[in-house]
Amino acid sequence: MVASKRVYVLLILGIAIAPALAIFFGIAVSIAVVLLFDGIVLGLMVVDGLLGRSHRVHMTRVLPSRLSIGRDNPVVLCVTGSKTDAVIQVCDYYPSGFGVSAPALRALIPSHSSLELTYTVHPMKRGEFPWGDLQVRQLGTWGLAWDDWKIPQSLRVKVYPDLVGLRSLSIRLTLQSSGSMRQFRQFGISTEFGELRNYRTGDDLRFIDWKATARSVGSYSNSTPLVRVFVPEQEQTLLILLDRGRLMTERVQGLQRFDWGLNATLSLALAGLHRGDRVGVGVFDRQMQTWIPPERGQHRLSQLIDSLTPIQPVLLESDYVGAVTTVLQQQTRRSLVVVITDLVDITASAELLAALSRLTPRYLPFCVTLRDPQVSNIAVSKHFEVTAAYGRAVALDLLAQRQVAFAHLKQKGVLVLDAPANQITDQLVDRYLQLKARSQL
């Protein structure tokens, strides 16, 4: 039981009238009246608090089955009122380290009705976390006391990679495959025949199938030409090597660089599986810690999520040559090998450059680096202070050194994608779809 603000106001009021009572009736009478008044107020507060226990609200918490890192995950508190209107305050003991939209909630619950209170949590780390009980306060009928109690709702929750982004990407890929989302810009042409459809404005005239058109005109009285539609080749191999070494432990935009890389890995795997390719994943530091051989099938994604979610980055230097050697030993057929990591300059990343060069021309190597957007912001900022000018010079030098390393990779036949860590997923998936459309695999 907790006293409300109204109780404190009444107690202060009793003290405030004490001097006036002392002037007219004496100090003894004044003290007696004030003590009696305060005693009545406190007694009513206790009664109000005890009566409030008989009409407590009922409350349950509803969580997503899987929380997504770096996303606002909704938490719904379902409240059922009692016989009277109730003013409540709710404090949920969510895991420490989670960002939250509303640390405490306050609401008026009408009698014999239900209400949903919603707030969001923003996890910044993957793993399993304890979630505590609900602390509830309900104001008494007279507004003098808060009935304070806990509702047992403790449980353990798991934070996964960005599953919200995966769902959005899955919808997008499905719309593209079904033809509901027409791509107005084509980056190339595939070689595998998919289907025949009616000619549309803007279609390439070279792909009109005149023989099929003649048959349709004769048989079905269809005067619209038929166009051959080509689809990207399937059952190709996509290997994703995710670095979990020292460079991936740095925090970028609130998340570790490894988490951004893991989100990109799963999104790329989803795109590959959706396009009918065989997808395999390797996670490495000084050695290959996790190796998932390439397979195809939509069921594969859930297996990848369960296998990769517990992995955390470590403060170890990564062995790129060892990771590439594992690929050479495990995968003999031509495949797209995507290495998700980061680099500093051509000297510090000499081992990475040498390792990727070993993959050409048998494989198609693809180096994906996760840039810190803060470095780019510093490089383009304009300041007149000496300290800021030195910071900008350092940022420009870092970016220039990265470009030298990328130029070296491109000379060796390695594909390169350098993008801010928080934007890498969309750009990587788009680049992969372009490669499929151009039949570069």
CB 380 within 8 A of CB 368: no
Name the CATH architecture for the domain at 56-160.
Sandwich (2.60)
The verdict on whether omega for the bond into residue 361 sits within 30 degrees of 0, i.e. cis, is yes
Distances (CA, A) of 408 to 353, 395, 402: 8, 20, 10
| Stretch among 161-165, 218-222, 238-242, 350-354 having the lowest mean pLDDT | 218-222
Residue 133 contacts by C-beta under 8 Å, 6 or more apart in sequence? 93, 150, 151, 152, 153, 154
Q: Where are the domains of the chain?
A: 2-54, 56-160, 191-231, 237-437
Say which CATH superfamily domain 237-437 falls into.
von Willebrand factor, type A domain (3.40.50.410)
User: Which pLDDT score is estimated for 268?
Assistant: 96
First to last CA, the chain: 70
Ranges 126-135, 223-232, 318-327: which has the least confidence: 223-232
Query: Is residue 367 very low, low, confident or very high in pLDDT (cuts 50, 70, 90)?
Result: very high
Q: Chain-wide mean pLDDT for the chain?
A: 87
The residue type found at 423 is: Q
Residue 26, phi then psi, degrees to nearest 5: 100, 165
In whole angstroms, give the CA distance from residue 196 to residue 230. Answer: 9
Question: Higher pLDDT residue, 118 or 22?
Answer: 118
Question: From CA 59, how far away is CA 155, in angstroms rounded?
Answer: 15
